[in-house]
Structures are given as structure tokens and as C-alpha cells.
Structure 1
Amino acid sequence: MTEHPPLLLLHGVMMSANAWSVVVPMLSDRYDVLAPTAAGHRGGPALTGRASVAVLTDHTERYLDELGLDTVHVAGNSLGGWMAVELARRGRARSVCGLSPAGFWTPGSPDQTRSRSRLRFVRNLTRASAPVMPVAMRSATVRRLSMRDIAAHGDRLTPQAATTAATDLLHCTAGLELLATTESVAPLDPLPCPVTFAWPELDRIFPQQVNGTTAQQLVPGAKHIVLPGTGHVPMIDDPALCARVIAESAA
């Protein structure tokens, strides 16, 4: 570790630390960047028992404890954004930047089931195309179409990065349990630290007009911004914008 402040990056469900591969170098000159892979995800710690957001957050807390870090700046996408909120609730965050954070729904209501169905569709489509994945991902058109539910410009990923993302998804053991969770974000007021929620303009999973409205009610002190031209995983569409927003949030 250096004298830079620590910054923890948390990825979305069925992804891995690879989701931040382009963003990390853009932040490493100002922060000690930590980008672990979540428990139950490809490359992360194994899980015993049922997967839940609370359990994954427990694992992340232990990770910080092992590094001797009481508090860190936290940025997360989707599931990672939700975990960032929970770390703030536990007093472990200096600041939070949630990029399309999950959990802002009523369990079992259409706003959860719709997003869950889209993510399951992405998983099933990826599984069905797995045998031809390395060859298919050489096509920019295939990358854009196969990722249209999570990115506005999936073709901006390299073929190797797109194949890695698909492999992460297929080898995530916690994915289905997390998609079926009955958890949701509980109210957080007052804020324990500064919180910014960044909503991708073209998000097909958690649209701002639905999930952002719920977030305003549950976390009334948070700042809300829009990420133009981006989809649910904005690090794919505009990593430089994501890095800038994260840095501004931590500042």
C-alpha cells in the first residue's frame, strides 16, 4: 500500500474483478485501488451455505480486515453498488459511488422481477452460445448484440474481454441464488458518509425512473447523477467517465 487513500471497487452479479480492468489504471495514480472478486464468483472465495448480499458483504468486510483497513472509499456497480451501501451502513466506507446500484426495489414486485428476468435471459443466452463463444466474439456486431441488455456499446470490448466476461458469468456459482434474493436496500438516513448514485442513461436493468426514484426515497441524502450514453455496466461503454465520477465522489 502507498500513501494514497484506499479505493475499493466492487463488481456486479455474475461478473468478476475483470469488470474494472480498464478503469483501474485510470485511478491508480490517486488511489490504492482494490478490486477483489466477490465470494461465489469466478476467481473469488468459495461460499458455504446460501448466497446473499449480506453474506457477500461479510466476506468483503473480512477482506478489509485482513488488509488492516478500517474504512475505504467504495465504488460498485449493480450488486457491487448495493454492497457499497451496506458497507457504509456498517461504518466501513469513507464515501460511496454506486453505478446503477441494485437492491432498490420491493421484493417480489415487478421492478425486481423484471430486472431479474433480464439478467436470467442474459445468462441463458450466454450458456446457449458458449460452444462458439471465442469465435463469435471476434465480431463487433455479435459483441454489441449479445451484451445489449448490459451495455449500449458492447462492441467496445475487445474479443478477449468479451469472452472473459462470458466465462465469468457461466462459472458464477452464486448467481442464481442472488438473482432470487428476497433482500432489498433498507432506508439509510442520515448518511454515514457522502453517497453518489450514478444512473446510466440507457440502463435496461435498473432504469433511473424506476429504481432511482426508490433510491431517492430510501437514501434521501444521496446525490444522483446520470451517465450519458451508457448501459447497466457503464465501465464497458465509457470507462473514463466512470473513473472520473468515482474520483469526484471520493473527493
Structure 2
Amino acid sequence: MIPALARERDVIAVDLPGFGESPPLPGEVSVATLTDAVEEFIAEHDLGDVDIVGSSMGARMALELARRGHGGATVALDPGGFWTGAEVAYFAATVVPSIALVRRIQPVLPRLVSNRVGRTALLLQFSAKPSALDRDLVLSELRNFASSPGLFDALEALIRGPKQRGAPSGTLRAPVVIGWGRKDRVTPPRQAQRALERFPDAVLHWFSECGHFPHWDRPGETVQLILDSTGPR
């Protein structure tokens, strides 16, 4: 997806602390402190009111930046933080063990993701059509689960931390678009209405035949949504 966006925009892909090659935070890991780190990155690199795109936990952080008053456009894809107690308990009981399993089976991942049955078994929770996903994409994404030492701390922060606070009407400095997969099994579509209640000035975009990651299931539509929602205003 990044190459397609980079043909039209300058793209900066940020590793969160504890992800990719970025060291973990030295202190508390929470949505707030991870968002603080992104704010510091923006300030250190003099990026000003750069437009922000995030997915899942990154989408939650993008919305938090918008709530804090960031002046760039925001695209948040299937954000966390809008769940009930039962929903977050289900998230903890299903997503965390799934990721732990993927970490344990890293040596056999190439063989598993090379066939449609294996991709379906591994990613049915995250994708509306896992068997159709590209083998190399799946392998790269699942490898990232093993190479991100801060992942479980971040998941714990999502599960144990507070829900996402909202931005009352008239307080956002720039447009906010929230994208949601109609077949999301991680943050179910019913949560989208709660997101709009807390961000009443946001625009909701539905992705049909799409799970938790629109850039997996609907890459072309995701790119177009980002391009339409960002850039000069």
C-alpha cells in the first residue's frame, strides 16, 4: 500500500516504540505514552500539521492525536477503544492467544501461509477473505508479530487501559475519517456507532467484504480513501 500512496504523497512510515527497529519505551506503556512518542517524533522532525493514517491500535492513536488538537487530517482504520467490557474481554481471550501462537510457530510459517487452508486458519479472525491474501504479505505481517518486542505491552495497554475519549462537535482542527470493515471480527462494526458518538464531526466510511485490516482486504479502496482524505485543503 505504501508504494501506491508514495506515488501521490510524501509518506513517512513510523515504527512505534518497541516495534520494528525502534527501542521500547523506557517507562509506562500505554496508549497515551505511545501517542506522546508520536507527538514527539512529529515535533522533532518539524512535520507540523502532517496528515496521519493509522490502523487498529495506530488508528486509536491517530484519533487521540486529533482529539488533542493535531491540525492534520486523520484517517483511522478500525480503531480500538470503543468496546464494551464484554467486547474487550473477548478481544483479550482471542487476539492475544492468536498472536502468541503465531510467535511459537514462526519456523513453519512459510509452509503454512503457502496454501489457502493455512492462510484461512491463521487469519480468519483478521480478514474477511484470508485465503485470497498474498502469501508474501501474510508472511511479512506475521513475521512482524515475532519481531516486535513491545507488542504484548501495547496489547495489554489496549485491554487494561481506558476507552478512547472523544472530541465534542466543533473541537477538531482538521477532517477526521473513520474507516470500518463490515466483517471486522476484532473490533465489530457495531463499535463504529460509538466512535461517531464520541467524534461527531468525523465521517464514517464502510468497507464491504472487509475484516479488521482494510489495507489487506480492500487495498485499492483504502489507498483511494487516504488520498481523498488527505493532502491540500
TM-score by length of 2: 0.89
Aligned to 1:188: 167
Q: Tell me which stretches of 4 or more aligned residues in structure 1 moved more than 4 Å.
A: none
Query: How large is the RMSD of aligned CA atoms in angstroms?
Result: 1.8
Paired residues in the alignment total: 226
* 2:66 aligned with 1:88: yes
Letter in 2 for 1:178: A
Displacement, 1:142? 0.8
* 2:175 aligned with 1:207: no
Letter in 1 for 2:164: V
Distance 2:121 2:214 in 1: 16
CA deviations 1:50-97 (Å, max 9, x no partner) are: 311111112112221232111111111111111111221233342111
CA deviations 1:147-172 (Å, max 9, x no partner) are: 11111223344333322211211232
Map 1:95-134 to 2 at 5 A.
95-106=73-84, 109-134=85-110
Distance 2:198 2:68 in 1: 16
Map 1:6-155 to 2 at 5 A.
23-106=1-84, 109-155=85-131
* 2:146 aligned with 1:170: yes
Distance 1:86 1:201 in 2: 23
Give ranges in structure 2 of 5+ residues lacking alignment: none
Q: Which segment drifts farther, 43-52 or 28-37?
A: 43-52
Distance 1:135 1:93 in 2: 45
The question of whether the paired residues in 2 share the 8 Å contact of 1:37 and 1:43 is answered with yes
Identity of aligned residues (%): 27
Displacement, 1:114? 1.6
Is the strand fraction higher in 1 or 2? 1
Letter in 2 for 1:213: Q
The question of whether the paired residues in 2 share the 8 Å contact of 1:84 and 1:93 is answered with no
Letter in 2 for 1:232: H
Distance 1:155 1:38 in 2: 29
CA deviations 1:109-145 (Å, max 9, x no partner) are: 1122222322113213313422311222211321122
Give ranges in structure 1 of 5+ residues lacking alignment: 1-22
Letter in 1 for 2:17: A
Displacement, 1:32? 0.8
Displacement, 1:101? 0.9
The question of whether the paired residues in 2 share the 8 Å contact of 1:199 and 1:208 is answered with yes
Letter in 2 for 1:246: I
Secondary structure, aligned partner of 1:226: strand
